[in-house]
Amino acid sequence: MISVLPRLYLGSATDAENPQQLHENGITHVLTVDSKAPTTLDLFKTKFVRLFDEACADLLSCLPECLNFVKEAHEVSESSILVHCHAGVSRSAAVITAYLMSTENLPFEDAYARLQAIKANVKINDEFVKQLELFEAMGCQVDMTCSIYKQYRLQKVTEKYPELQKLPREVFASDPSSLGQTAETLYRCRKCRRSLFRATSILSHVVGDGPAAFAHKKLNSATSALDLKKCTSYFVEPVQWMEETLLGVMDGQLLCPKCSSKLGCFNWYGEQCSCGRWVTPAFQVHKNRVDEVKAVQIRGIQT
């Protein structure tokens, strides 16, 4: 067990199984981030978060509850907290690194280096490193409405359900056609006017390298470099009307649920945008197949 900040300790399962040592260090709270819960902590306030130290593990979604527990304990002057996993090297180190990032306003690299300077054997696994970098990109919080987080969750779903026979309901955004009148910007089928998705369902991406990304293809001379830098499609999160189409299938067409006109395509392994950026997974709706509809307030009447 080692002190990272006053009243904040990083340790292992062995430390958590030693009540005498915990009392000597003034520990009142214990956060366990491991595959199994400890059994010797009846005299402490505890929280157990089940997480495996492996590439498919979803640390990012667990961070809010972990950080809230640490913050609640650490902000009380009479309390001290131990954060531990099995070895005190990866999972618990990742949580404490995230805590340093959020409370000390540190970028990931600085927070990680600071922790390694305190405990030399800390080695956060590569997948957790990527997730902490996403955490930094979201402003050191887990913003579930952010396109970065939505894209991340879709990638995790692909890993967890490789056959795609079952998908959690929370993966799918609400069908805007069932929501009634809304002030949100909607996108409708150009042919039949059926509402398809909201602006908040669009997953933005960094524009790619344009022609350089298509060096492997023989380009039509009529296709300009400027055209190849443009995004001609929207990449969106799955919407409820897509569910039947997506189950058990890795790729295919996206058709309007009302008139069956082709809107675009999907591929859980990803697709290349016209700008050259590869998007994974990809639910691609061509811009020329939909119309953007914005709510306008006119003399108190919404249209």
Tell me the per-residue pLDDT of 136-164, one tens digit each, with 9 for 90 and over.
999 999 998 888 899 898 888 888 887 77
Cα-based torsion angle of the residue sequence 279, 280, 281, 285 in order, rounded to the nearest 10 degrees:
0
Same domain membership, residue 138 and residue 217 = no
Angle between helices 91-104 and 63-74 (to 10 degrees): 70
Task: Indicate if 79 and 192 belong to the same structural domain.
Answer: no
- Tell me what pLDDT residue 302 has: 52
105 and 31 assigned to the same domain: yes
How much is the average pLDDT of 15-37? Answer: 93
Tokens of 61: 């979604």
Is 152 part of any domain?
A: no
Is 163 within the bounds of a domain?
Answer: no
Q: Lowest-pLDDT range, 72-81, 151-160, 249-258, 290-299? A: 290-299
Same domain, yes or no, for 126 and 238? no
AA identity, residue 188: R
Mean pLDDT over residues 1-15, rounded? 95
Q: What is the mean pLDDT of the chain?
A: 89
pTM: 0.80
Residue 81 included in any domain: yes
Determine which of 117-126, 161-170, 219-228 has the lowest per-residue pLDDT on average. Answer: 219-228
Is the domain of 99 the same as that of 138? yes
**In the structure, what pLDDT confidence band is assigned to residue 303 with cuts at 50, 70 and 90?**
very low
pLDDT at 213 over 60: no
Asked if residue 227 belongs to a domain, the reply is yes
Three-class SS state of 253: strand
Say whether both 115 and 216 belong to one domain. Answer: no
Domain boundary among 86, 107, 142: 142
* Statement to judge: residues 289 and 209 lie in one domain: yes
Same domain, 105 and 232: no
Looking at the structure, tell me whether residues 177 and 137 fall in a common domain: no
Main-chain phi, psi angles of 189, to 5 degrees: -60, 130
- What is the model's pLDDT at position 145? 87
CATH number of the domain encompassing residue 185: 2.170.150
Domain that holds residue 264: 169-293
Query: What confidence tens digit (pLDDT) does each residue in 235-250 have?
Result: 999 999 999 999 889 9
Whether the pLDDT of residue 218 is over 80: the answer is: no
Same domain, 43 and 122: yes
Same domain, 174 and 106: no
Give the residue from 142, 157, 180 where a domain finishes. Answer: 142
Q: Are residues 13 and 96 located together in one domain of the fold? A: yes
In a domain, 90, yes or no: yes
Which residues are known to be catalytic?
A: 85
Q: Say if 150 falls within a structural domain.
A: no
Confidence of residue 119 (pLDDT cuts 50, 70, 90): very high
Whether residue 88 is predicted with pLDDT greater than 80 in this model: the reply is yes
Give pLDDT, residue 72.
93
Number of domains in the chain: 2
Residue 58 CA from chain centroid, whole number: 9
Residue 217 lies in a domain: yes
| Final residue of a structural domain among 103, 124, 142 | 142
pLDDT for 223 equals 52
In-domain check, residue 161: no
For residue 27, the domain's CATH number is 3.90.190.10
pLDDT number for residue 297: 61
